[in-house]
Structure 1
Amino acid sequence: MAGLGIVWLVHAETGSFGAAGLVTGSFAVAETLVGPQTARLMDRFGQPRVLVPLLCAHAAAISALVALALTAASVVPLMAAGLAAGATVPQIGALSAARWSALLHGRAELAPAFALETMSNDLAFLLGPALAVLTATRLHPAAGTVLAGVLVVGAGLVFAALRRTAPSPAARTAPGRKTVRGRKTVRGREAVRGPKRLWTRSFVTLLTVNLALGIFFGSMQVSVSAFADAHHAAPAAGLLYGLMSAAGLLAGLVHGRRHGRTRPEHRLPLILAFLACASLLPMLAGSPWQLGLALLLPGAGVAPCIIVASTLVEATMDRSVLTQAFTWTNSACAAGIAVSAALVGRLVDGPGGARAGFAVPLLALTATAALTWSARIALTAAGTPGTGTAAGTATTATGQLPAGADSTGAAP
């Protein structure tokens, strides 16, 4: 939403999509590179302590960007403001995922919680761009950027105020006492578990999964738009992409309420293989309505993939680096979107058209499915009690409910 708002703002004031792309790219690059470092501080000192100054800096950066754009500043100061805004935006999704883990680790409600998180993100991606464009075109060119900034600051302040749901800072973590379950606790919570290194083989595998999902999103956005334009139905591109998002919302709801008997590290490559096969269907479409039907299956495979990958991140990573881990996965997805959008944009302009663009996620997902299948032993070892993880992770990892457990989950 913020990126699209910046595009409309800078283009309206400069008349150049090139300048708008440079400023938006500066924002995205800074967010991708600096976001994990900010998350590292949150893991060490706690979310509330870091969020407040970060949000103040973000509000100042957004204000500077808007002021510079409205005063006809050159592209260099606008890019500097874009860098500052991107570097200070908090990764709300990663913060929320870390809180779900702190609240529900080892409980069967964790999978439904991640399903709810995924559906919320899908809804935000569905409504955010529409709100940004609507406010920028109907109210004022700066309205989309300002609205995005207000929503980020508002959500961040809510998270900063909810201190009871925030994960314990790693800086305060100390050996606790043994409980009746044989686990150590710190201030009433489980002690950290798992490998304390961030860059493990299991994490790199999960990072690659999110990169592949980003390639899927970026490729589909460009390819669907190119397909609709080639069939003289450019306005239908939003509807077609909306159908895929709606299928993802429904699949996320169903997956969150059902629990498979297979372990998530075995389920993930199967879901990726399904998603790769489903990505063949858009290549066979001959009209916009056929493409709409062909996008339903790929859309339905996305949400379960994100849910299972998030569950594995939670199960395999140490609490002291959990916010960083979720932020890095978000950054990998964003990088996949950016790179694939640029690549597919050139492909669809060639003789292959939209079909060439649809081939990109097929190749990426096929390779990633093979990678996750080969790495399933490492993922199993990282998420198994007795190898560093807390007891109780296995219940979540297997996706099985203990007797009498409820599968609904509650919001933090």
Structure 2
Amino acid sequence: MPSANYRSLLRTPGAAAFFLPASLGRVGVAMTSLSIVWLVHSRTGTFSAPGLVTGGFAVSEALGAPQLARLVDRFGQTRILPPTLLAHAVAVAVLLSLVAADAEDAFLVVGGGLVGGSVPQLGAMSAARWAALLRPDRAAELPTAFALESIGNAVAFLVGPTLVSALAAAGHPVAGMVLAASLAVFGGLFLATQRATAPAVAVRGAEHSSDVGQLLCGPVLLLMGLNLAIGIFFGAIQVSVTAFAVEYGSPGAAGPIFAASSCSGLLAGWFYGLRRWRATPPVQLLAVTGVLSFGTLLLFTIGSPVGLGLVVVLTGAAIPPLLVLFPVFTESTVHQTVLTQAFAWLGAAGAAGSAAAAALSGLAVDSLGSRGGFAVTATAAVAMTLQSLVGLRVLRAPQVRRGRRGTGRQ
């Protein structure tokens, strides 16, 4: 039975014990950006200010995530997670206090930056644990494991934004922010207790400089470009869909629209991970980004929330294969002692894209309406397709690497 692939992975000793807490925490992380949008919008009544604050959040996450990942690779997940989670909880409290005090936008941007800089990188940590758990004896199962990670992300972005939108529509944007932080912190704390599956700690020495060099190779740089573009897509689509729902007098429709996209992504990710595709991963990448570009161009033809929901079903289905292919390429390129950093750098590129998109699409929406935001979304998708053409030559299929170094568990 095909679904046994996922069951066999979760039955691996220690797998469910780290995957489930990480998934719970990712629901909170998935809620955070949209929580900030609704929280600040409830005070200002515009989308420019939420865009700027969310941009500050994303910029800070982009800068902070690789540094946190470097500490994780150096000292281990179980030592770095607890202080990171404490800092995140304090940062959320600071932002809530600033909003309650009706602070100036500049202070709100700083508050958003504090929240972004302390976001726990639970996705990167979970993916690194799969790589450590399955290499080298079960390396063929890594794409399925990363597909499971994609499903976890899809569930997070199904549940998280739906909860945030529902709470905001009911007049409780503060509750959405508090719930997001609570899920991220408690999920991260449970993950930190799972020491047996924590990846090996990086060994510093003569090999360190070559390890750093691996993060600057052509495939990783291309993957960072792709993640930058997908970050722009995510940042713009959140603001644009929310603005479209408000334009049509149905702010509560934003939640179901996000849910439709996430349901589509959930099903697509589940199906994608069950099959062994004949096309090479670079060809798959080109095909999926082409579908995403086509879907974003359809955004300019819609005239109702129902029509928008139908389009985001298509674009949502294109996301999970990308979220599987990116870590597959990364894991096959870099050494395990810098794998968390590599995942974090890709996440940072995505966060940087979200930062640019949040600010740019907010201004575009205020000036041109929701279709101004859709223009930012479509530009990002087309850029991904063009980069995928380059990827046909630059990216290589996954392969088992030799001479993997490292020490024991944490």
1:195–1:317 Cα contact (<8 Å) kept: no
- Give distance in 1, aligned partners of 2:173 and 2:248: 31
Cα distance change, pair 323–145 in 1 and its aligned pair in 2 (3 A): same
Q: CA deviation at 1:239?
A: 2.4
Q: CA deviation at 1:228?
A: 4.4
* Aligned position for 2:385: 369
Which structure 2 residues correspond to residues 234-273 of structure 1 after superposition, within 5 A?
234-273=251-290
Larger radius of gyration: 1
Give the SS at the match of 1:108. Answer: helix
Q: TM-score, normalised by structure 1?
A: 0.76
* Aligned position for 1:188: none
* Aligned position for 1:283: 300
Which structure 2 residues correspond to residues 97-246 of structure 1 after superposition, within 5 A?
97-106=127-136, 107-132=139-164, 142-171=174-203, 196-231=213-248, 233-246=250-263
* Aligned position for 1:59: 89
Cα distance change, pair 231–17 in 1 and its aligned pair in 2 (3 A): closer
* Amino acid in structure 2 at the alignment position of 1:313: T
Question: Quick one: higher RCO (CA 8 Å, sep 6+), 1 or 2?
Answer: 2
1:281–1:295 Cα contact (<8 Å) kept: no
Structure 2 residue runs of 5 or longer lacking an equivalent are: 1-30, 405-410
Q: Which of 40, 48, 54 lines up with 2:78 in the alignment?
A: 48
- Give distance in 2, aligned partners of 1:14 and 1:347: 17
Q: Which of 313, 316, 322 lines up with 1:305 in the alignment?
A: 322
- Give distance in 1, aligned partners of 2:58 and 2:44: 20
- Greater displacement, 27-36 / 1-10: 1-10
Q: CA deviation at 1:12?
A: 6.3
Deviations 1:119-145 (A, max 9, x none): 221222222234345557869664333
Deviations 1:210-268 (A, max 9, x none): 12222222333344345445555554343233222211111011001111022212321
- Give distance in 2, aligned partners of 1:14 and 1:261: 52
Deviations 1:178-230 (A, max 9, x none): xxxxxxxxxxxxxxx98852121101111111122222223333443454455
Cα distance change, pair 274–101 in 1 and its aligned pair in 2 (3 A): same
- Give distance in 1, aligned partners of 2:234 and 2:49: 24
Give the SS at the match of 1:307. Answer: helix
Give the SS at the match of 1:262. Answer: coil
Larger helix proportion, structure 1 or 2?
Answer: 2
Percent identity between matched residues is 45
Cα distance change, pair 135–111 in 1 and its aligned pair in 2 (3 A): same
* Aligned position for 2:394: 378
Q: Does 1:295 align with 2:312?
A: yes
- Give distance in 1, aligned partners of 2:49 and 2:374: 29
* Amino acid in structure 1 at the alignment position of 2:161: P
* Amino acid in structure 2 at the alignment position of 1:127: V
Give the SS at the match of 1:375. Answer: helix
Structure 1 residue runs of 5 or longer lacking an equivalent are: 176-192, 393-412
* Amino acid in structure 2 at the alignment position of 1:116: L
Q: Does 1:29 align with 2:29?
A: no
Q: CA deviation at 1:308?
A: 1.3
Q: CA deviation at 1:40?
A: 0.8
- Give distance in 2, aligned partners of 1:11 and 1:292: 23
Q: TM-score, normalised by structure 2?
A: 0.77
* Aligned position for 1:89: 119
Cα distance change, pair 391–361 in 1 and its aligned pair in 2 (3 A): farther
Number of aligned positions between the proteins: 370
* Aligned position for 2:347: 330
* Amino acid in structure 1 at the alignment position of 2:381: L
* Amino acid in structure 2 at the alignment position of 1:103: L
Cα distance change, pair 350–62 in 1 and its aligned pair in 2 (3 A): closer
1:196–1:317 Cα contact (<8 Å) kept: no
* Amino acid in structure 2 at the alignment position of 1:362: A
Cα distance change, pair 337–54 in 1 and its aligned pair in 2 (3 A): closer
Cα distance change, pair 300–167 in 1 and its aligned pair in 2 (3 A): same
- Give distance in 2, aligned partners of 1:112 and 1:253: 9
* Amino acid in structure 2 at the alignment position of 1:170: A
- Give distance in 1, aligned partners of 2:239 and 2:43: 26
